Chains A and B, each alone.
Chain A
Amino acid sequence: MALTRNADAVAPVRASGPVSIWATRHASTSIGALGRLFRQPFSSLMIVLVIAVTLALPASINLVIQNARALSGSWDNALDFSVYLKRDLAVADAEALGKLLGQRADVDSVEVITATAALAEFKQQSGFGDALEQLSENPLPHTLIVRPGAGNTSASIGLLQEEIGNLPEVEIVQIDTDWVQRFHAILDIARQAMVIGAALLGLAIVVVIGNTIRLDIENRRDEIEVTKLLGATNAFVRRPFLWSGFWYGLFGGLMALALVLLGLHLLEGPISRLAGLYQSNLAVSSLSVEEGAAIVAVGVTLGWFGSWLTAARHMRRIEPR
């Protein structure tokens, strides 16, 4: 067997440009990692499912809260509250105050009901018309019906009411709609709980992916040792595991998106039937493109982070023996 002395064999090893190496390495490593995922379809699917369910849970709760908010938004008039003014206040002052309050940013509109108008309405509606004729003076005060602006939370409406109640011209602020506020407060709590829950579930994803990658690293310990013997850097050996994490996260995110959309699709029929019963034009608001992208992005980020956390720690530990 003669030694072949062709130019390729004798030329020194020369690397191509740094950027193209980097891109090519990542491209081939990512495809390699994808290939390994598909070579163990069952266990990969299990992990992807766990990630998907974990992501889909907070995403769908968020969707429910959003819809509940939209629904309660259609009860906007129920958020109106009555401001009874002091009895001795002149009509002009009442109207001026109404106008002033109407200019506030957190107030949508103010309706002024003068004492005279109120009495007239009361006479008409109560049926005590004749009895009321006997009164020497109008017992009713001027009233303002305040409708808060749409941007308000239950807390800011509470503040608004308190502020108005403290005005010298105001006798009392009457809220007929405590239940709406309570509902909003519950939604606020639910939202907070969802954020905390989502953070915990995100942590769970990091742990699940980290554990998967750790097992993967243990299984490929020999390979890591050999590549390190051949002069591979920690970054080089880490790279395929980071890509595995990326793919787990990406597929998990996509499947979570599919689960949420499937859930929406299944609920569409019952909700439109319910809306029909109430003769309401209630419609389920679906995921926006941004929200869908956010689910997938969160999956990818957590996947990458989880694998990086594990790989960074274990790669340093595995050295050739």
Chain B
Amino acid sequence: MIHLENVSKRYPGGQEALSGLDLDVEKGEMVFVTGHSGAGKSTLLRLIALIERPTSGQVIVDNRNTRRVKRRKIPAYRRQIGMVFQDHKLLYDRPVSDNVALPLIIAGVRHRDAIRRVRAALDQVGLLHKEKQSPETLSAGEQQRVGIARAIVTRPKLLIADEPTGNLDPDLSLEVMRIFRRFNEVGVTLLVASHDIALIDRLGCRRIALENGHLQAAEHDAWL
């Protein structure tokens, strides 16, 4: 699903966020990317979402080389990927249901169908009863679940999440991760950036550790 080949990303000013990174994530896998802040986790996800382009190397997502995705085609490319952010990136001027419906409206889904899908997505994160509320009235954990519902409402094959539990306490973090696990069980490929190693180990997924833009260890037990 995701294939990185000798990928480097250098920012203006010479700072190298990723250097010579090789990485493979198979279809249906759930993989965590760990590392200290500044290790290159976010950059990796940004390259996959085409928010940025690599300085060198190949990023291939779902058999598509991102280098060949033209600027004009980026929106269509992004619609194929579900994204979850640390700060949720919800819009506070509209209710929960409208937030979740946004990707469907962008994709031009018929209103009737959109309503059904939104309800299904909210049901999957256990927030169907809060669809009419403003995101502001929800707890941080609930807001993140709204963000997840929005990411999966279009049924993407790939879901990427950047520190989705960064602002949550351990119980809420575990709940969010369990939701991710359930999507993984129905075939969604997940790539999650997180520094919460204890939590990741409880889930027993593959872990990729980044350090200074390099791959540190690709094995689950590298830390033990």
Contact = CB atoms under 8 A, between A and B. Distances in A.
B150 to A, nearest CB: 8
B109 A14 contact: yes
B102 A230 contact: yes
B126 A229 contact: no
A319 to B, nearest CB: 8
Given A3-B186, A223-B91, A229 B107 contact: no
A6 B106 contact: no
Interface in A203-240: 222-223, 225-233, 236
A73 interface: no
A231 B91 contact: no
Contacts of A319: 51
A198 B9 CA distance: 54
B83 A230 contact: yes
A226 B89 contact: yes
B113 to A, nearest CB: 8
Interface string A1-21: 101111011111111100011
Interface string A173-192: 00000000000000000000
A231 B102 CA distance: 10
Contacts of A233: 75-76
Most B Cβ at <10 Å: residue of A5, A9, A228:
A9
A24 interface: yes
B109 A4 contact: no
A321 B52 CA distance: 9
B206 interface: no
A16 to B, nearest CB: 4
B20 interface: no
A24 B111 contact: yes
Nearest to A36: B93
B51 A9 contact: no
B143 to A, nearest CB: 13
**B-side interface mostly:** helix
B110 A227 contact: no
A320 B51 contact: yes
A226 B100 CA distance: 12
B19 to A, nearest CB: 22
A8 B114 CA distance: 10
B104 interface: yes
A237 to B, nearest CB: 9
B107 A5 contact: no
B104 A232 contact: no
A231 B108 contact: no
Contacts of B106: 227, 230-232, 236
B91 A25 contact: no
- Of all A-B residue pairs in the complex, the 6 with the closest CB atoms, nearest first, are A231-B79, A231-B78, A9-B120, A21-B108, A16-B110, A15-B108
Interface of B: 49, 51, 75-80, 83, 89-91, 93, 102-111, 113, 116-117, 120-121, 123-124, 126, 150, 154-155, 182, 185-186
29 contacts: A3-B182, A3-B185, A4-B120, A8-B113, A9-B121, A9-B155, A10-B186, A11-B155, A13-B107, A14-B113, A15-B110, A16-B109, A20-B110, A25-B108, A222-B91, A223-B91, A223-B93, A226-B91, A228-B75, A228-B78, A229-B83, A230-B78, A230-B83, A231-B80, A232-B106, A233-B75, A233-B76, A236-B106, A319-B51
